Amino acid sequence: MSAKSGNVSLGGKTVELPVKTGTIGPDVLDIGKLYAQTGAFTYDPGFTSTASCESAITYIDGDEGVLLHRGYPIDQLAEHGDFLETCYLLLYGELPTPSQKADFDYRVQRHTMVHEQMARFFQGFRRDAHPMAVMVAAVGALAAFYHDSTDITDEKQRMIASMRMIAKVPTLAAMAYKYTIGQPFVYPKNSLDYTSNFLNMCFAVPCEEYKINPVLSRALDRIFILHADHEQNASTSTVRLAGSSGANPFACIAAGIACLWGPAHGGANEAALKMLAEIGHIDRIPEYVKKAKDKNDPFRLMGFGHRVYKNYDPRAKIMQKTCHEVLAELGVKDDPLLEVAVELERIALSDEYFIEKKLYPNVDFYSGITLKAMGFPTSMFTVLFAVARTVGWIAQWKEMIEDPTQKIGRPRQLYTGAALRDYVPTGKR
Ligand code: CMC
């Protein structure tokens, strides 16, 4: 029994359950033996009060608007480091020394190419396929190309699979984009840094020189840092659940990408931009705010609210700054969407409904405007999120696989269907 414990009374029976304490954050009541001791399950659809695992990677204090990776605040990582440094930190737990960083960058760069046969795999898709549909398939298909890194019991293979995905997911993402616009795939260029290489694969064409804009490259790199991990969110929990059965890591990350696609999760950046375009003018904002508050209207302000943050999303502040930097660099002075966004944020933050429900702009509110200004179509927004989140999924997957107490994730249920009844032959029904 741990030092702390909590009593639970059920049907006249009281059981003492251990309470676990983390480094920071709320204690958890360990209910692992509850069923054995009382015959009852707990019920928490949506996991609003349930910790699904122990993790030492990312910490969020939603009330205070804090996000830490391995203890380091997100704003410090976004301001001072680059995306691959955050990747290293998430995977290994410490910031790299200069030589560790150089070695890590080199190893990622040497894995950027995909098997040439993958290019043929893309040909099977319609040109108008949503790039997220292509990503789910292409990342899952990596397991068919890299058999030598699918044995999850081999530590070396786990690490190779991890490096392969961090390096190859951007290549596949750029290929998914090129395919939908009918342009030739652009091979990775290992002389470029991670994010510049991604921009080059997306926007270069064989007939012209493509010059990387360092301001845009830095901004996208920062967007990647902001999206790198977010503890046990829906897609990460999906990756963990898929991985708990022993599935190979490529399949697990494909499952995470599928989950990310939904508008309540990674699809929100695409949905937020579409919403801003639909509102179109600041005069129409009150109409949309009214819709969002109407209980009988399913409409929600996309890019607002968060399951965990009940304060300003710390990523949103950095995203807002990055958005202004990108628009200034590109000379976009009067972007109508930005005008709507700024005014919508102002109105929502002073509206009683949003204040009372603690609905603040989240990271996706400004990311769409920024990515659009950079030249990405809305259908690519969630793909960019997937590129960044790949490292978080992998770090969380590795942590789970390397935990000696790990077992298959298998929730229980509250059954509300028919009770036992006898089969009735077809003619007698
Ligand atoms: N607009 C209007 N009302 C909202 C909104 C919104 N965006 N979000 C929540 N509410 C209301 C909701 O109707 C509910 O009201 P009531 O208590 O009267 O029924 C209350 O606030 C609590 O909402 P909930 O759905 O119970 O909260 P949740 O924690 O389950 O949902 C959320 C979190 C992010 C799914 C939700 O806020 C939402 O749908 N937001 C819009 C989509 C979005 O921007 N998602 C991106 C999340 S950040 C990126 C990521 O991590 O993937």
Residue whose Cα lies nearest atom 49 of ligand 1: it is 265
Distance 280 CA to ligand 1 centre (A): 22
- What's the token pair of residue 266? 């990674």
**Mutation choice for ligand 1 from 304, 352, 355, CB with most ligand atoms inside 8 A:** 304
- What's the token pair of residue 256? 């995470």
Could you tell me which of 361, 325, 355 has the C-alpha nearest to residue 343? 361
Residue whose Cα lies nearest atom 1 of ligand 1: it is 300
Task: Give the CA dihedral 316, 321, 325, 327, nearest 10 degrees.
Answer: 60
Per-residue pLDDT of the chain (429 residues; tens, 9 = 90+): 457 888 998 878 899 999 999 999 999 999 999 999 999 999 999 999 999 999 999 999 999 999 999 999 999 999 999 999 999 999 999 999 999 999 999 999 999 999 999 999 999 999 999 999 999 999 999 999 999 999 999 999 999 999 999 999 999 999 999 999 999 999 999 999 999 999 999 999 999 999 999 999 999 999 999 999 999 999 999 999 999 999 999 999 999 999 999 988 888 888 888 999 999 999 999 999 999 999 999 999 998 999 889 888 899 989 989 998 999 999 987 788 888 988 998 898 899 999 999 998 888 888 888 999 999 999 999 999 999 999 999 999 999 999 999 999 999 999 999 999 999 999 999
Distance 50 CA to ligand 1 centre (A): 18
Residue whose Cα lies nearest atom 32 of ligand 1: it is 306
Quote the CA–CA distance of 173 and 168 in Å, as a whole number. Answer: 9
**Mutation choice for ligand 1 from 227, 235, 306, CB with most ligand atoms inside 8 A:** 306
Number of the ligand 1 atom closest to the C-alpha atom of 265: 52
* Backbone conformation region of residue 399, classed left if phi is above 0, alpha if psi is from -120 to 50, else beta: alpha
Number of the ligand 1 atom closest to the C-alpha atom of 353: 3
Residue 198, amino acid = F
Quote the CA–CA distance of 401 and 246 in Å, as a whole number. Answer: 8
What distances in angstroms separate CA 118 from CA 122, 128, 147, 256, 371, one per listed residue? 7, 18, 14, 20, 27
Number of the ligand 1 atom closest to the C-alpha atom of 233: 51
Number of the ligand 1 atom closest to the C-alpha atom of 303: 44
- What's the token pair of residue 252? 């697990």
Distance 297 CA to ligand 1 centre (A): 14
Could you tell me which of 204, 207, 266 has the C-alpha nearest to residue 235? 266
Using CB atoms within 10 A of its CB, is residue 307 exposed (0-12), middle (13-18) or buried (19+)?
Answer: middle
Distance 41 CA to ligand 1 centre (A): 27
Quote the CA–CA distance of 20 and 32 in Å, as a whole number. Answer: 12
- Spell out which residues line ligand 1, taking CB within 6 angstroms: 230, 233, 264-266, 268, 292, 300-307, 357, 359, 362-364
**Mutation choice for ligand 1 from 226, 300, 309, 315, CB with most ligand atoms inside 8 A:** 300
Tell me which DSSP letter residue 184 carries: P
**What pLDDT is attached to residue 2?**
53
- Active-site annotation, residues: 306, 364
DSSP 41-61: ----GGGSS---S--SSEEEE
Residue whose Cα lies nearest atom 37 of ligand 1: it is 305
